[in-house]
Amino acid sequence: MDTVRALNIGAEIDLAMFCAYLANQRVPYRVFEERGRQVLEVASQIDAERVRADFEAWRDGRLRIERAGRVPRRRIAWRAMVSTYPVVVGMMALAIMCLPATWPLDGNRLGPVLPWLTIVPVSEMGGDLQFESLERVLASGQWWRLVTPIFIHFGVVHLAFNAAVVVEFGRRIERGAGSLALLLLTLSIAIVSDVAQFALTHAPLFGGLSGVAYGLVAYVVVRGRFDRGERVWYVNPSFAIAVVAMLLVMSSGVTEWFGLHIANTAHWVGLALGGAAACVWRPRNERHV
């Protein structure tokens, strides 16, 4: 069975307590010496990423391991997650916080929060939706509106689907390219896709992380063509084909037969931006190389 090298450290570091912790956490591993250094291997890339994060947390004091190997698992897991993937965790936190903003729509009301998150302010007058021009809104300094639509979700299922994709592929980018790279990529995709969606449809009530999700998927897939030897960028080709096929189906308008209106422009723009970004910009997270 193939193994993944999680750690390659000096022989002077005592790994006894850390290995006891891994055994307590039921993480399969093996340690051996190679050229005067200690090598710790695990069964998968996911385990390797977890081991590296926990090892760093242990070394700098954020993870306390008792001699019996008993540790508060939930607290350590969350600390390691926030430390390793701060941008992914931040995006998920904002999306969850903003989820209630769309609940008044079920009662045909806008509510007090949603108009502050849409790309332009919206209001209802005589049963019609009223909104300002994007140029006037930006001139007034409301620049946050270029990004906040990505945190609007129309239901738990909508959020859950987008979150699953963003967490998986955002985590890969944050691990392989760094937190700053993921942040800049997310903001760029969000701004361009949101503006494109509004410019082509003139409908302000759209939202969701799906445009960003498509962009992150495209970035990882295309970057995998350049960095073939790094597992963090590997994506099964069948998954990439399925993503494009799903986008084609949604763009056909078939979902509108069921009353489901999808922001396909944001999806296509996000997909194109993510792929283009991987062609010209491939930073590396040297801390985890």
Residue 206: which of 85, 89, 122 has the closest Cα?
122
Enumerate residues 6+ apart whose C-beta is below 8 A from 231.
4, 45
Catalytic-role residue among 153, 179, 193, 267:
267
Among 133, 158, 210, 238, the one annotated catalytic: 210
284: left (phi over 0), alpha (psi -120 to 50) or beta: beta
Give me the helices (H) in 177-263, please. Answer: 179-201, 210-226, 237-251
Reduce the DSSP state of residue 131 to 3 states and report it: strand
Q: What is the DSSP letter of 255?
A: G
Nearest one of 164, 128, 121, 163 to 144, comparing CA atoms: 121
Cβ(76)–Cβ(51) below 8 Å: no
Whether 193 is a known active-site residue: answer no
**Measured distance CA(32)–CA(3) in Å, rounded:** 13
267/248 Cα distance (integer angstroms) = 10
Cβ burial, residue 116 (10 Å; 0-12/13-18/19+): middle
How many CB atoms lie under 10 A from the CB of residue 230? 15
Q: Which two tokens stand for residue 107?
A: 């009662």
Q: Quick check: is 261 catalytic? A: no
Q: Which residues pair with 34 in a beta bridge?
A: 37
Query: In whole angstroms, how large is the CA radius of gyration of the chain?
Result: 22
Task: Assess contact for 197 and 266: CB atoms under 8 A.
Answer: yes
Known catalytic residues are: 210, 267
